[in-house]
Amino acid sequence: MQALWMILGSFFFATMAVGIKVSSASFSTFELVFYRGVVSVIFMGLVLRTRGTRLRTPVPMMHAWRTFIGVLSLGSWFYAIAHLPLATAMTLNYMSGVWVAAFIVGGAVMYGHAERQGPLMATVLAGFAGVVMMLRPTLDQHQLFAGLIGLLSGMGAALAYMQVMALSKVGEPEGRTVFYFSVGSAIAGGAGMVFTGFTPWAAVSWQAAAWLVPIGVLASLGQWCMTRAYSRGSTLLVANLQYSGIVFAAFYSLLLFGDQVPLIGWAGMCVIVVSGLAATALRARTVPDTPAEEH
């Protein structure tokens, strides 16, 4: 059942990305972050009220740090979705598993234990080789900046995952973690809109407007499903199944948007997925608790 929770969560996130892709034609990245946060706050507030979960938390600063990193990752990911093929943006965000491995290797190097992390270092190098393969086509399409922003979203997600794991260890309910992240998204998006402006509704297409509520609901459901999967199932299994989101995104990318990704780009995606799976398996031998996926 835990495997199904992870696959369902990946499906929700990939479908949310479709909404972001459509809505980005009318709304700025900050607006999308704002609307996603507002809808999620309302949705999760109702869920927490129904479940009788209190909003007050004993660890507000932990939530603040998780929200700060998570919002940076979220905004970067939304920008990448707007400017890159959907499958490419999704894959770059799912580089988070490779980034976690890179952090572990970096720590080992700092403490003089690099020789113990040879296999893990190989997965990191392979993962970044896959990134180069994926970003090569974007050079020809003048999309390198968007590609680098997408890569940054994966790094931010990796840092956010670590904080989510820390929150779960101190007993924070999964719903409350999602709720406070949604609050932070709404605040950050609103603050950004002060500088970038607000899109008049008269200039918004009905397709873009119709996606605003589903984006927030799908994001909340995706976070909830994935957190549930990690907290109740085999960490190694559910961590590997998160890559099903790339499959869903590739399907949407081809069917709905007709994205043309060159063969080298698809090959790069495969390299990243394989390196991510290998990194997860290697980390599981030494780090029994792997953080949950959050967007």
Q: Write the burial class of residue 211 (CB in 10 Å: 0-12 exposed, 13-18 middle, 19+ buried).
A: buried
Helix (H) or strand (E) holding 285: helix 263-286
CA gap 229, 223 in Å, rounded: 10
Q: Where are the alpha helices (DSSP H) in 52-143?
A: 60-83, 86-93, 96-110, 118-140
Whether the CB-CB separation of 150 and 93 falls below 8 Å is answered with: yes
Q: What is the overall mean pLDDT for the chain?
A: 83
Residue with tokens 């031998």: 285
pLDDT band at 79 (very low <50, low <70, confident <90, very high): very high
239-263: per-residue pLDDT in tens?
667 778 888 988 899 899 988 778 8
pTM of the shown model: 0.84
Q: What pLDDT score does 235 carry?
A: 56
29-77: per-residue pLDDT in tens?
999 999 999 999 999 999 999 999 899 999 999 999 999 999 999 999 9
152-178: per-residue pLDDT in tens?
998 888 888 778 778 878 888 888 988
Q: Write the burial class of residue 288 (CB in 10 Å: 0-12 exposed, 13-18 middle, 19+ buried).
A: exposed
In the chain, domain spans: 2-286
Kindly list the distances between the CA atom of residue 243 and the CA atoms of 7, 76, 98, 190, 237, in Å, as whole numbers in the listed order. 9, 19, 12, 31, 11
